[in-house]
């Protein structure tokens, strides 16, 4: 599972996480509201995965990917 998360690209997940995302914001830099929605979705997903018995190493991998995705979105290019 961690390999799937790592190879997918967080930007696609971010764009899909908000049904109201405009074409401009999903193609460019996401809004703070979209980033907040993404962080909440990841947090809830990690809680579910943890309760399901997912190993800590996989949870950390997902959290690392989410953190780097948010950091990249907030870093000016």
Give the number of domains in the chain.
1
Would you say 2 and 62 are in contact if contact means Cβ atoms under 8 Å apart? yes
Span 33-74, pLDDT tens digits: 999 999 999 999 999 999 999 999 999 999 999 999 999 999
Query: How many angstroms from the chain centroid is the CA of residue 57?
Result: 17
Do 37 and 10 form a contact (C-beta atoms < 8 A)?
no
Read off the pTM.
Answer: 0.62
Query: What domain range is 40 assigned to?
Result: 2-74
């Amino acid at each position: 599972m961690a390999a799937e998360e790592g190879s997918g690209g967080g930007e696609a997940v971010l764009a899909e996480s908000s049904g109201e995302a405009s074409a401009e914001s999903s193609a460019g830099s996401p809004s703070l509201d979209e980033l907040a929605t993404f962080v909440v979705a990841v947090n809830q997903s990690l809680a579910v995965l943890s309760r399901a018995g997912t190993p800590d190493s996989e949870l950390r991998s997902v959290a690392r990917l989410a953190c780097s995705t948010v950091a990249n979105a907030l870093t000016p290019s």
